[in-house]
Structure 1
Amino acid sequence: MGPAPQDRPYRIVALSARTSEALAASRARMAAHLAAHAGLSLSDVAVTLATGREVFTHRYAIVANDVAAVVEALRAGDGRAPRRRDVVVASGHVTTGFDVPTTFMFPSVAAVPPPEAAASDPRPPEVQRCLQQAEERLAGSLPVSLMEALDEGPGDPAAMLSWLPAAFAAQVGAARQLQAWGLCPADANGHGAGAFAAAVICGELGFDEALDRVAGWSRLVADGLVENYAVDEPPAVPDPDPDPDPRHVIVPVDIDARAAQLAAQVAAAWVRGAAADLSMGAPGRRIHLPGYAFSRTPGSSRSPEVEHDDVAHSARPLSAAEQRVLFLDLVRTTPNVEHTVVTVSEIEGPLDVAALQQDFAELQRAHPVLRTYFTQRGRSWAAVERPDPAVSLEIHRESGAAEPGAGPELVRAQLAERPFSPANAALVRGLVATWGDRHVIGLAAYRGLIDKPGITGLLDTLLRGRDAAEITTIGSN
């Protein structure tokens, strides 16, 4: 038996390309790869696709909780919904630039999930945290717990003593969860309890102050002194516009939204150009997955598939792993050499250094993680992609002959002993040491950005991009 549904959290699997044809080809490649490697972790797949890849304007995102569902959705393509009801697919074409502004809309009518969905899709951490905070503040004044109130719905006026504060806390928690996943609104609006949630998200009210006002309002509703807006007022969010404004994204924040629903909101906003952390801050390791075409085009410095869009790239928030490593290094007084990951490969045969430099530049264009640096903006840090490659391979032509096995260790030591400056500097470097027809190629990267499997995979890609007749690989580690 496989894991229970609650043990298989929902993830966002996202692809993008410069054209719809390239996106279709990318979907097909990814579906074939995942079908052939059924044992892959969905979290690893999602994290790999969400970090260190170029983001183009034609986009496709899947929200699912197992790899088989992702394969089905990838093969379905645009315009054909997956057969499974627990899978969400979003697609879009960004035409107005990245970082399209978003507005959170907080309706006043509960969209209660069906029991089977609620059982397999838990309330997200930020929702649970806000409900707990509200429960503690209102202790002794609630007829039923806030969790019970959400499960049972608005009910009669007396039930509003618990339900209105629960609706408010759940909506604030849902909005904070979206923000934790990188979907940050430029504005927020709402009705009923949602109006107070919007005020908290906009910074106009603190959580406790807004909660006290909602609790006071709930007492008036329970006493029949004011109208029960949560039931009588129409939803604040209309049906989806079939032709939405490409310059603005509306994100409805439903009462008692579950994790999969919020992930679907993130995916839907991202395919329309909103900035978001598609890894959802979840743990996962980078693995080998099909990427963009990597080839040298005669007479051209870049391949068609990795050519940049005419849309400016933007900064993104640091992931939790990036923050941990970066902040540790910022307070250190000694070099951060232990945060340098290195991989080397020894090859034999004639080596065209100029062609290898060109291949390394193409590798950087195809993998934006190699063009990423960390910078401080105000009081926070962000990861920013350079539009073009900024690093060249260092070439060391050594005299004499290296003893067997000594070359890789020498290159490894040279790369590992040079710490990276974590702020406003390149976080990858490459070195080629040559002894006649014997060469050692090494890549090093900052651990906060790329792990060992990731940098090893990139070196393998660099070597695969060359004519196999030119070199013989002796070994790599």
Structure 2
Amino acid sequence: METTFLAGTDAPRVLAVSARDERTAAAAAVRLADRLAGDPSLDPDDVALTLAHGRERFAVRHAVTGTTGAELAAALRESALRPRRAAPVPTLVLDLGDGSAPAGTPPLPQVAEASATAEGLGLPQAAGTAAVLYGTAVWLAAHGLRPDTVLGSGPAAAAASALRGELPLADALRAAATPVGTPSARTPGGEVLVVRMGTGAAGAGVLFLDPLDPSSYARLFAALWERGFDVDCTLGRGGRRVRLPGYPFRRSGSVTDAPPPGLRPLTPHEQRWLFHDLVRSGSAAEHTLCATAVLPGPVPGAPAADAALAALLDRHPDLRTVFTRDGGRWFARTSLRPVPVTVLAPDTGVEPEALVRAATAEETFAAADVPLVRCALAPAGDGWAVALAVYAPVAGASSAGELLAEWAGLAGAPLRTATAAPA
């Protein structure tokens, strides 16, 4: 658990609830309120951690703040009376403000590190202000607030430039200490939600964060959760998992209606693995089958490699499965879009680990609307190496080695050797 002012006994907690539809979300909030009211010994930190790391995240959301179980229970009951509707997640902008010197320094470890860098460089107050803003933004990012862009003016412009990756932190701090301008960014178009450093009343498109006020962090994260952002509502407080009420079971149109056109319900096998990986927040790579081989001759051209992969998917239609969400529910569909083969550059290296990482890249098996099979090639001395990765729930009875051998035959390069490799 972090030793910051956000972990103090008087600092507010955030309880975040989600469900597939408004009725279920309201009922879940009431059930959780009953559990808190009925057991005064239940630690709100344990409840927050269980909700954050032990439940699937749906589009209809409630979030409440409070310092005690009784306060949180009352807030949950009040929240259940307010309707919620799923809405598209807007573009997120972090506005560091004009770089005005704060009245103090938030005791966050990232702020201390950035401030130490400024002090080590012997820079004036303006650089210290930029360091505080930079460190606060880094803490926010570590807890799920990852903006699409960062803005700022004055010393804050330098901190924003470092956060956008345009300047190393030391160079940004030096720029903050001089009157020389630093790169700026524009607010994106379309629907935008701005998180602004400072104090003020939240509006339809603007939320505020006072870096020195623990309550401000709780209000901000609760608001972001309800707007669809998957922020860490534990605020880094820690805790342990506890048994909490589940979702109320009821038969309704949201469960029994026919799936939307082009989609099908998940099989029990798919449900088991997909939901397991969702709850574990990205453990799909653990359930990925991968095989590698080294072959002589020239590396197949992209057209031949892609055509062989397309033919393999035609032979095994289950490999075309893609998981998708619709109305807060998970479905499966058959993708007709081609899956390209990844060809690594000659200077990438062909160590088995590097090739496997390329074939099992995390974003490839992130569950939602991505192909669940991937093939990667790389030059290897006088020959070339290949790796084929498949998400186990769609592999059927075939092993990764068998599928790789099929692909190689279709590519006109029968395998000399093929070895299974753990993902």
TM, length-normalised to structure 2? 0.52
Residue 424 of structure 1: CA displacement?
4.3
Matched, 1:136 2:120: yes
Matched, 1:292 2:247: yes
Query: Matched residue of 2:178: which SS?
Result: helix
Q: What residue number does 2:173 align with? A: 211
* Correspondence list, 1:416-427, <5 A: 424-425=391-392
Q: What residue number does 1:195 align with? A: 157
The AA in structure 2 aligned to 1:14 is: A
Which residues of structure 1 form unaligned runs of 5+? 81-90, 142-160, 219-234, 245-249, 331-365, 369-374, 388-422, 427-477
Distance of 2:108 and 2:202 partners within structure 1: 27
CA deviation vs aligned residue, 1:335-363 (integer Å, no higher than 9, x gap): xxxxxxxxxxxxxxxxxxxxxxxxxxxxx
Residue 33 of structure 1: CA displacement?
0.5
- Identify if the C-alpha distance between structure 1 residues 377 and 243 changes in structure 2 by more than 3 Å, giving closer, same or farther: farther
Residue 28 of structure 1: CA displacement?
1.5
Mapped contact 1:191–1:236 kept (Cα < 8 A): no
Q: Tell me whether 274-283 or 32-41 shows the greater mean CA deviation.
A: 274-283
* Correspondence list, 1:170-319, <5 A: 170-217=132-179, 242-244=203-205, 252=208, 256-294=211-249, 297=251, 302=255
Q: What residue number does 2:351 align with? A: none
Matched, 1:58 2:48: no
The AA in structure 2 aligned to 1:165 is: A
Distance of 1:54 and 1:317 partners within structure 2: 6
Query: Matched residue of 1:95: which SS?
Result: coil
- Identify if the C-alpha distance between structure 1 residues 292 and 376 changes in structure 2 by more than 3 Å, giving closer, same or farther: farther
Distance of 1:381 and 1:283 partners within structure 2: 26
Q: What residue number does 1:102 align with? A: 92
Distance of 2:47 and 2:240 partners within structure 1: 8
Q: What residue number does 1:29 align with? A: 31
- Identify if the C-alpha distance between structure 1 residues 282 and 242 changes in structure 2 by more than 3 Å, giving closer, same or farther: closer
Distance of 1:65 and 1:376 partners within structure 2: 44
- Identify if the C-alpha distance between structure 1 residues 109 and 203 changes in structure 2 by more than 3 Å, giving closer, same or farther: closer
Q: Tell me whether 203-212 or 257-266 shows the greater mean CA deviation.
A: 257-266
- Identify if the C-alpha distance between structure 1 residues 278 and 6 changes in structure 2 by more than 3 Å, giving closer, same or farther: closer
Mapped contact 2:155–2:177 kept (Cα < 8 A): no
* Correspondence list, 1:32-43, <5 A: 32-43=34-45
Which residues of structure 2 form unaligned runs of 5+? 1-5, 181-195, 264-273, 291-327, 331-355, 370-389, 394-423
Matched, 1:93 2:85: yes
Residue 239 of structure 1: CA displacement?
6.2
CA deviation vs aligned residue, 1:373-401 (integer Å, no higher than 9, x gap): xx9799974784579xxxxxxxxxxxxxx
- Identify if the C-alpha distance between structure 1 residues 109 and 378 changes in structure 2 by more than 3 Å, giving closer, same or farther: farther
Matched, 1:167 2:157: no
Distance of 2:367 and 2:74 partners within structure 1: 32
The AA in structure 1 aligned to 2:86 is: V
Distance of 1:69 and 1:236 partners within structure 2: 27
Query: Matched residue of 1:35: which SS?
Result: helix
Distance of 1:172 and 1:62 partners within structure 2: 28
Mapped contact 2:151–2:160 kept (Cα < 8 A): yes
Residue 181 of structure 1: CA displacement?
0.7
Q: What residue number does 1:429 align with? A: none
Mapped contact 1:190–1:236 kept (Cα < 8 A): no
Mapped contact 2:200–2:208 kept (Cα < 8 A): no
Mapped contact 2:45–2:239 kept (Cα < 8 A): yes
Query: Matched residue of 1:216: which SS?
Result: coil
- Identify if the C-alpha distance between structure 1 residues 217 and 262 changes in structure 2 by more than 3 Å, giving closer, same or farther: farther
Mapped contact 1:318–1:381 kept (Cα < 8 A): no
1:69 aligns with one of 71, 85, 108: 71
Percent identity, please. Answer: 27
Residue 288 of structure 1: CA displacement?
0.9
- Equivalences, count: 276
Query: Matched residue of 1:288: which SS?
Result: coil
1:46 aligns with one of 45, 48, 67: 48
Mapped contact 2:28–2:248 kept (Cα < 8 A): no
Distance of 1:301 and 1:78 partners within structure 2: 19
Query: Matched residue of 2:177: which SS?
Result: helix
- Identify if the C-alpha distance between structure 1 residues 376 and 102 changes in structure 2 by more than 3 Å, giving closer, same or farther: farther
2:109 aligns with one of 119, 125, 131: 125
- Identify if the C-alpha distance between structure 1 residues 76 and 56 changes in structure 2 by more than 3 Å, giving closer, same or farther: same
Residue 280 of structure 1: CA displacement?
3.9
Please, what is the CA RMSD of the aligned residues?
4.9
Distance of 1:264 and 1:73 partners within structure 2: 13
- Identify if the C-alpha distance between structure 1 residues 111 and 385 changes in structure 2 by more than 3 Å, giving closer, same or farther: farther
Residue 238 of structure 1: CA displacement?
10
Distance of 1:378 and 1:182 partners within structure 2: 27
- Identify if the C-alpha distance between structure 1 residues 192 and 377 changes in structure 2 by more than 3 Å, giving closer, same or farther: farther
Residue 270 of structure 1: CA displacement?
2.1
Residue 16 of structure 1: CA displacement?
1.8
